[in-house]
Amino acid sequence: MIRATWAALALFLIPIGASAQTAQGPMIVEQVHNGFLVAPDVKITEVDHQTSTLAGGYAGVVFDEHFFVGGGAYVLASHRRDREMAYGGLVLQWLGPSAGAFGVSAKTLLGGGRAESSDVITVVDRGRLVSSRFRVGQSFLVAEPEVDALVRFSRHLRLAVGASYRFTGSARGRDGLFDGRGGTGLDGAAGSIGLQIVGGS
């Protein structure tokens, strides 16, 4: 009698267990895409109150298709007579969801750089005018947040058009190198255009 009861109970529970397994549905596995990103970049900005061009770019790794960690660097590429500037550092970027061929992203560069400038001064020495060239340099810290609009040409190639602002501060607690008006002369808004080359799994 006891064996018959256990057998009947087992026959009753089997359909319930099968129904529960069916209700769970199949297991879905989604692949997380990681890869590298390289982006040559050109910025149009103002340096020392002159419209100037910065050339450079950034490179690093994209995690889960949305988060980029890497490094970037830029150098003054125009109006370089008597002036030099270069900076770089850590680049963090969030790549937003894309609607077809278009998307947006936000990134920031945190780091430092150096600027140098030379000038000619004329002084009177023993009744004569004497001209002398002097050169000074200054290290600075930089933070440059940026927002980009992305145009997707293919899975591996995107055009990035952005707007940013470069905040600088003297690493030695002094005023800026170029600006004689109390500012740094290195701060400024910038417009940029570049290509994002994406690869990986």
Complete DSSP assignment for 160-172: EEEEEEEEEEETT
Amino acid residing at 122? T
86 exposure class (CB count in 10 Å sphere: 0-12, 13-18, 19+): middle
Structure tokens at 183: 């500012």
Q: Domain 37-200 belongs to what topology?
A: Porin (2.40.160)
pLDDT in tens for each of the 201 residues of the chain? Answer: 545 444 444 444 455 444 444 445 555 444 446 889 999 999 999 887 888 999 999 999 999 888 999 999 999 998 767 788 999 999 999 988 876 789 999 999 999 999 887 766 666 667 777 666 667 778 899 999 999 999 999 888 999 999 999 999 865 544 445 554 444 578 999 999 999 998 876
Predicted TM-score (pTM) of the model is 0.72
